[in-house]
Structures are given as structure tokens and as C-alpha cells.
Structure 1
Amino acid sequence: MHYSGISYALLPGFRPLQLDLWVPAGGDTYPVVVWIHGGAWQFGDRRYLPPTLEIDAVHDALLEAGIAVASIDYRLAGEAVFPAQLDDAKSAVRYLRRHAAQLGLNVERFGVWGESAGGHLAALLALTAGRTTQEGEPVDAEPVDSVRAVVDWYGVSDLTTMPKLEVPPDVSLPPGTADPIEQLLGGTTPERARAASPVTHVSADAPPFLLIHGTDDVPVPPEQSGLLHAALLAAGAQSELVTVEGAGHIFAGAADITALIARSVAFLAMHLGEGPR
């Protein structure tokens, strides 16, 4: 079953925020993974995949494992500053839980997977579950925004230690938007950077994480995943760190991205379970 263009949030002054949902055929209710796209927080949408991935490669792999997948839009940095992007991801999770019975989803079996900027947001979503958002959702808002497993591909984990991000030369951006982190935060204050850093929010209650990062990643150095991995282990949470030798950002130059997808799906299936229940 495929649902296209579901409006999960309507915010005054902004475009409708939409998601696409794929649910395996048959069965009762399925686990679901929320996919959060990358794009330096400045570009992309729910249909965007980096050029190193085959179209629908991630979605097809999840469906074959008996896991539904929801690909979401969120407000880009040129539309609203942080934490709007995190608020949107939380809203999408709550929407899916609210309508789980209608959509064939199991409310107890939610995971999240993101790449690059989406990996950053996936980590934040998992680490800030149940906390008040910019829109004023109470801490005990229902449905809850928690997830049971996280896959973070080459996401930023500590904005206070990041070098200046450079967008790819073939991407044209308006004047004044060359620094994605500054645009995301609406400035460069250390307080804002810390608040938007997943490492700030690590606790023993964190769900299991799988972090995958290329050793030759320049825009987001592999040390970023190392910092989050170390923080999670120090807090007593579960974390696996996989480094991809010779791979750059978006796994450019990786020998076998299909194997990385398979490992990610296997991790999610282990923690969410496969198929209907």
C-alpha cells in the first residue's frame, strides 16, 4: 500500500508538510521507519536521495523486510530556523501514531533513519523524545514521539566542533546562505549550537543507535559520529559505530553501499521486529 502526499502538519504561513508512506501488503500492523532526507538543512524534500543511492533502494529494502517506511518533508533552514526542523519530525511521528490503526502501523514499533542533515535530525528526534517543542507541545503530548531504534548515516552530532560546512559546487543557493549551520541556527552563538547538537541530549534512556560514517568524509568529519558513539556508550546506552574505509560524504567511493543498506535494515529489524503482529 502506498500513500502519497499526506499532509501531516499545516502551519500558518508555511507550505503544507507532507509525507509518503509505503506499507507492506497483507498482514495486520507493521513496524515503521521514518526516513529523514539530507541536504545540508537547505535543500531536498521527502523524495530526495543522494546520487550515490539507487532510487527507492532504502524503501525497497525496508519493505522486503516487512517494515513500513514513511519519508517526510520538514521546513528547510531558509524557511525557519532550528528547532523548526526537529518540531516537524516530531509532528510526523505523532501523526503516524495518531493514525496508526488506519494506516496499518504498530504504534510500539517505530524507528528512524536519516542521512546527513537527516541523520542529525534523526538523532535529535530519538534523544529528545517527550520534550517540549517550539510549537508548545506539552511534554506529555499524545501520541508520543519516541522511537525504538535509530540509524544515523554521517550526521552532525556536535555543532560546536564542526568546521565550516561548504555546499557542493553544483548547488546554487541564494546570497548569504553559504554556511548551512549558521543559517540553520539563525546565528552562531554557542548556546544555539549546543541546543542543536545530539551529544547535548544523550542519556541512558536513548534507544539503540547504529552510526555509519565514511573515513574520508570532509563536509562532516567521521569524528562527529565517533563523538556521539562515545557519548552514548558513556551514558550506558547501546551504540554501534561502523566506519566505511575510503568513503566520503554520502558514501561516495564506498565499495558496496548495498551492504550498508542491508546492515541498516538488519539493525532496524532486530530492534523493531519484522512483519505484522
Structure 2
Amino acid sequence: MGYGLSRRITAMLAIAGLAFFLLAAGTCELLASTDRDGPAFKDIAYGSDARNRMDIYKPPGAGPFPAIIYVHGGGWWNGDKQYLAANARDYMLSKGVAVVAINYRNLVEAKRDRIFPPVLAALEDTKSAYGYLLKNGGSLGIDNTRLAIYGASAGGFNALWLALSINEDGSLQAIKAVGGIDAQTTIDPFEMRDWVGPSINYGGHAFGLPEADFQSFLAQRDKFLNYISTLSPSYLVRANSPPIVLLYSGGLQDQSSDHMALVHSPKFGAEFQKTAERNGHAVTFLEGAERIPARYSDFFNFLIDRVVK
């Protein structure tokens, strides 16, 4: 998929997500914006690259507040922290939870920086943003012992990777929950074909291959396997992983073979749930949100409940 088309599709998804959440909000309560003047802190630099920036939105009061980190989608090609849906943000703020929206380097910048596999730039930046909050959250009004993280599409992959990564220093214990909206849960081409079906044509770009050349991705899987085993959430989920919630706009009964429908297929969630269960971990899987918008509220309440406790 070309850069321009991917960017337009990502923007459409962001707008669609906001529309769904607006509908979902109507089923539970009317949401009044608690943050009309924008973020409390804008474009905080958490790293040296121009893309290493975060915005922090805080509810009224002195704090410190638990926080939920938002990681935007865009297929690792593009996207922006401004994709954060306003009503989703305000809903979290209304529950006394701060919201942190981050940018990160994309594949073009990874190539510039000679990072391999290119997707590692996005993942490492997500980790750096989290590390910045651990170190500096207190001075920003954030309770850095009560954090959750979620993302949309590729951003969901980033969030899952971070939360499920094994760390020896215990720093990931601050992540009380992780969520993905329309997220890819594996970067293994064998799993993608097995889970989603023979028509999926996605993922090789994470390793520097043409995005649409899935056959090359399959042919070179063994060469990438060491990376796949350390980057793919499906390989990382364990019994002691943090609570996980996965939400998909489409339903398992849908038959669409459209490229973007496959990229965001709920089968990524259903099969990941089975993998997690085999490893001793329960995953909350929500599908069909396009038909049942209230599931967006269920998704955000899952995250909120685990950081507010």
C-alpha cells in the first residue's frame, strides 16, 4: 500500500473510531469535555528524535493521576498522536485518569537511522516513552505505578509488545492493563495466513520488504524468525502477563476480503485469545463493535478499572 493511501485510510479509521465511541457513549452517559484547553503538557520530548514527543491530558485536581498511554496506528508508515479520539480521551479524563498520547518513528525514519528490522524503531520508541513516564511521571502529575497502554492497529501491536515483553528489572509491573483496537497480534507470516486466511497480504514491511509482497515474507520467514520470536505478541504472552483486552470493529461472521478488513480482522484477536489461554492467560476479546458500539465503552472501562484500583 502506498504511503498516501495508507495515510488516508488511517485517518478514516480514526474518524470512524470516534464516531463509534460517540455512539457507545450515548448508551451509558453523556460526556462533557473536561479538557477544553488542550493538553496540560504538549510535545514533551522523551527522546532525541523529532518524533519522540508526547502530550499529557490531565483531569481536574491535584493528582497524581493514574494514566493510560495511547499509541496511534498507521501501519508503522504514518499516523500521529492527534488521532486520539476526543470523546475517548474525555471519557478517561472524566473517570479521573490522565491520558498520554505519543508519537514515534515510522518505517521511513527507521530506514534513515539504519534500524533493522525497521519496525523496531516504533517499538523501541514506545518503550522509551513508557520509560520517560516511569522516571518523570511524578513531576508531571502522573502516578507512574498505575499505568495502562493501548493502541489502534499497528499502535495496538506496539502496546502489546511493550506490555508482554519480559523484563528482568520489574519496570513493566507498572503496566496494569493493555489493550488493542483492530490490532495485529502476530508478525509471523505463518500465523497470519493460518489465523486470517490465504488472502492476507501484510506484514513484510516491518522487515523492510515491500508491503504487498507476502510471498517474499513467507520465503524469508526463517531468516526473520529470531526477530519474530522476540517482537510478536503471540510469542510473548504468558500466564503472568498483564490483563489484556482486544476490540475489533468487524465481526467474526463477516466475510469481507477487503485488504483493510483482513489487516484488522477480529481473527487476530480470537486466535491470540486461544494462544494466550494455552499459555495460561485469559484475554478479553470483543468483536463486532461496528454493530454493537457499546463495546467501545467496555474496552475503555476495562483499562480504566485496572488503573483506578
Using the size of structure 2 for normalisation, the TM-score is 0.69
Amino acid at match of 1:79: E
- Tell me the equivalent position of 1:71: 101
Determine if the alignment matches structure 1 residue 158 to structure 2 residue 186. Answer: yes
- Residue number among 25, 46, 53 corresponding to 1:8 in the alignment: 46
Q: How much does 1:180 deviate?
A: 6.0
Deviation at 1:129, TM superposition (A): 4.6
Q: Distance in 2 between matches of 1:194 and 1:208?
A: 21
Residues 116 and 156 of structure 1 are in contact (CA less than 8 Å); yes or no, is this contact kept in structure 2?
Answer: yes
How big is the alpha-carbon RMSD for the aligned residues of Structure 1 and Structure 2?
Answer: 2.2
In 1: Cα distance, 2:150 partner to 2:54 partner: 14
- Checking the alignment, whether the CA contact within 8 Å between 1:151 and 1:210 is kept in structure 2 is yes
Identity score, percent: 27
Query: In 2, Cα distance between the equivalents of 1:113 and 1:185?
Result: 23
For 1:146 and 1:236, locate their aligned partners in 2 and report how far apart those are by CA, in whole Å: 21
Residue in 2 that maps onto 1:206: 241
Which secondary structure state, in structure 1, belongs to the residue aligned with residue 268 of structure 2? helix
Displacement of 1:196: 2.9
Instruction: Check the 8 A contact 2:67/2:97 in 1, yes or no.
Output: yes
Report if aligned partners of 2:145, 2:174 keep a CA contact under 8 Å in 1.
Answer: no
Contact 1:207 1:238 in 2 (8 A): no
Structure 2 portions without partners, runs of 5+: 1-38, 111-117, 194-200, 210-216, 255-260
- The offset of 1:24, in angstroms, is 1.0
1:102-113 equivalence runs, <5 A: 102-113=139-150
Deviation at 1:82, TM superposition (A): 2.2
| AA matched with 1:266 | N
Instruction: Report the counterpart of residue 56 of structure 1 in structure 2.
Output: 86
Distance in 2 between residues matched to 1:29 and 1:146, nearest whole Å: 14
CA contact (8 A) 2:202 2:263 kept: no
CA distance in 2, matches of 1:124, 1:242: 19
- 1:182 Cα shift? 2.1
Identify the range of structure 1 (17-26 vs 220-229) with the bigger mean alpha-carbon deviation. 220-229
For normalisation by structure 1, the TM-score amounts to 0.77
Name the CA distance, whole Å, in 1 between partners of 2:180 and 2:263.
16
Alignment-derived partner of residue 223 in structure 1: 267
Q: Distance in 2 between matches of 1:267 and 1:150?
A: 9
> Does the 8 Å contact 1:82/1:184 carry over to 2?
yes
Matched residue count: 233
> Unaligned stretches of 5+ in structure 1?
50-54, 131-138, 164-178, 248-253
**Residues 73-113 of structure 1: CA distance to partner in whole angstroms, max 9, x if unpaired?**
11111211122211111111110111121111112111001
Displacement, 1:185? Answer: 1.7
1:185 maps to which of 181, 189, 207: 207
Q: Deviations over 1:172-197 (max 9, x none)?
A: xxxxxxx7622222243321444432
Cα distance in 1, alignment partners of residues 228 and 204 from structure 2: 9
Shift, 1:145, TM fit: 7.4
Structure with higher Rg: it is 2
Per the alignment, residue 236 of structure 1 pairs with 280
